[in-house]
Structure 1
């Protein structure tokens, strides 16, 4: 199985750059239907990206993974029909109500199951495989030690975040505006571009990015994930669908990060010797760090933690 690189998209020009950088699949959507997107694409913009991607003989996944209450899910059916009409290759879904709509409306777009931190076991993944999921997004909190047995039991491919911001909390409530009202300090903007963050008490060095959008409030881990140096472990487990999330990346330099992971993917798929590989991955990691935005740290996330520490 060839390793697949999935990259988020912030604009049509960036989509072109990402395809040329080596991305196999572009991930995008409209924020009314999808969570934590670098840009909210309307249907006309989506159609342009789909056409461009297919011209490059690559694929598009559209996010339909929001949490839908009764008032919002009424609009999902027409959205799914529009996505099918433009030949979207895949959608990401976390709400079983959307899966029900796919069946009821006879929408034939394949879906990847994406329920955030709920996807932590092979049994859950295989359950959704029986309900036509073609892949699943592994929870960011699953460490390597738990990936090992999971990888041996899953029936469908699993997507792993190898670069980007890790969400650690989502609330449907406007927590930033509520806080602003409580302290009587007006916040003109609460979106991602404002660059707001919170710090742990007595630990001013911590930097938990936070923003609000139509889906509520989102809080992110102190550092962004960078698994470049441990990619061989994922590759050996057969976990070869790798997600690169550019939500907080610089839109101009994010394609260069994709280039680095594409080169790493090629090294692994070509089975270079391990001594040379380790050195080359270290060099590619320098490239990732060089293109990382100032003020945003990088680490392995939950990957190297003891499972007992996570629980």
Structure 2
């Protein structure tokens, strides 16, 4: 069974994504979730969850932040709030949060999400045996590595098929520190338009922004696995994630429709190279023009990655 998951930046966008055919919307509050398009309150999450359930869909909530003591002390009421809402699952990477879930008998299922550290079936299965109902795989894995994990994992695993890849996070406010050092006003982070470029490679575009969780730097290319969906499907990798942190508003909804069309083609047995090419061309036309697209690590030889 294929599942299409997409981030949502608002209740209305979440409803539109579900109406477009997405199976699960992914939201959260930025105090407890990482790199979200926007921070949604518990009231927002309740409204969206009610709508999703009325339409036979799901809501997953990000609880995958790097938890220091101050966050751990605040998180139990949030977990209890998610339980009362009836969200379908939460993503968690901190063992301290998993301990609280078990200690307090919080009934919301959790999906293990420790970002770049989820790189083997052994790690996936370790957490599956401790209650995880799924895992979010690292975005730096090759097809051969993904296929091997899928063959050995005892719970479903999620693969990013579209969106940005974070390559560095610091809990420190590095952007603010930098502008303070050069004695200039720190620009607004709301539009997330700052980027770093290599002096000898002017076309590089390492997006950077700062929020309550620190500083985040993203790869110069966003991931696009539309041309490789056949390989994913053949390998049984059918839980697909769309990350709209840099594809805002109507743009991510239109991109989601392309992946919904692809999913339906697989389910109806009519997926073809021609359809893949047409959908990929439309995706490129919708993707933000200032951001490059590539297949990331997917086609690389694991032995040659440096």
* TM-score, structure 2 normalization: 0.98
TM-superposed CA distance for 1:201, in Å, is: 3.2
Structure 2: tracts of 5 or more residues without a match = none
CA distance in 1, matches of 2:242, 2:142: 18
- Does structure 1 conserve the Cα–Cα contact (< 8 Å) formed by 2:169 and 2:214? yes
- Corresponding residue for 1:251? 249
Range with greater deviation from structure 2 (283-292 or 22-31): 283-292
TM-superposed CA distance for 1:221, in Å, is: 0.7
- Does structure 1 conserve the Cα–Cα contact (< 8 Å) formed by 2:162 and 2:243? yes
Q: Secondary structure at the match of 1:253?
A: helix
2:302 aligned with 1:304 = no
Q: Secondary structure at the match of 2:250?
A: coil
TM-superposed CA distance for 1:250, in Å, is: 2.8
- Corresponding residue for 1:260? 258
- Corresponding residue for 2:238? 240
- Corresponding residue for 1:211? 209
Range with greater deviation from structure 2 (110-119 or 292-301): 292-301
2:200 aligned with 1:202 = yes
CA distance in 1, matches of 2:87, 2:192: 32
Range with greater deviation from structure 2 (60-69 or 246-255): 246-255
Of 274, 280, 286, the residue aligned with 2:275 is 280
Q: How many residues align?
A: 306
CA distance in 2, matches of 1:150, 1:223: 24
- Corresponding residue for 2:129? 130
Deviations 1:5-55 (A, max 9, x none): 000001122111101111100000000000000110011111111111111
Q: Secondary structure at the match of 2:90?
A: strand
Q: RMSD value over aligned CA atoms?
A: 1.1
Cα distance change, pair 149–188 in 1 and its aligned pair in 2 (3 A):
closer
- Corresponding residue for 2:71? 72
- Does structure 1 conserve the Cα–Cα contact (< 8 Å) formed by 2:147 and 2:237? no
2:291 aligned with 1:292 = no
- Corresponding residue for 2:94? 95
CA distance in 1, matches of 2:144, 2:304: 12
> How does 1:17-166 map onto structure 2 within 5 Å?
17-166=16-165
Runs (4+) off by over 6 Å: none
CA distance in 2, matches of 1:19, 1:169: 31
CA distance in 2, matches of 1:12, 1:194: 21
TM-superposed CA distance for 1:192, in Å, is: 4.7
TM-superposed CA distance for 1:57, in Å, is: 1.1
- Does structure 2 conserve the Cα–Cα contact (< 8 Å) formed by 1:9 and 1:28? yes
- Does structure 2 conserve the Cα–Cα contact (< 8 Å) formed by 1:94 and 1:113? yes
- Does structure 1 conserve the Cα–Cα contact (< 8 Å) formed by 2:9 and 2:38? yes
Structure 1: tracts of 5 or more residues without a match = none
TM-superposed CA distance for 1:213, in Å, is: 0.3
Q: Secondary structure at the match of 1:123?
A: helix
Q: Secondary structure at the match of 1:136?
A: strand
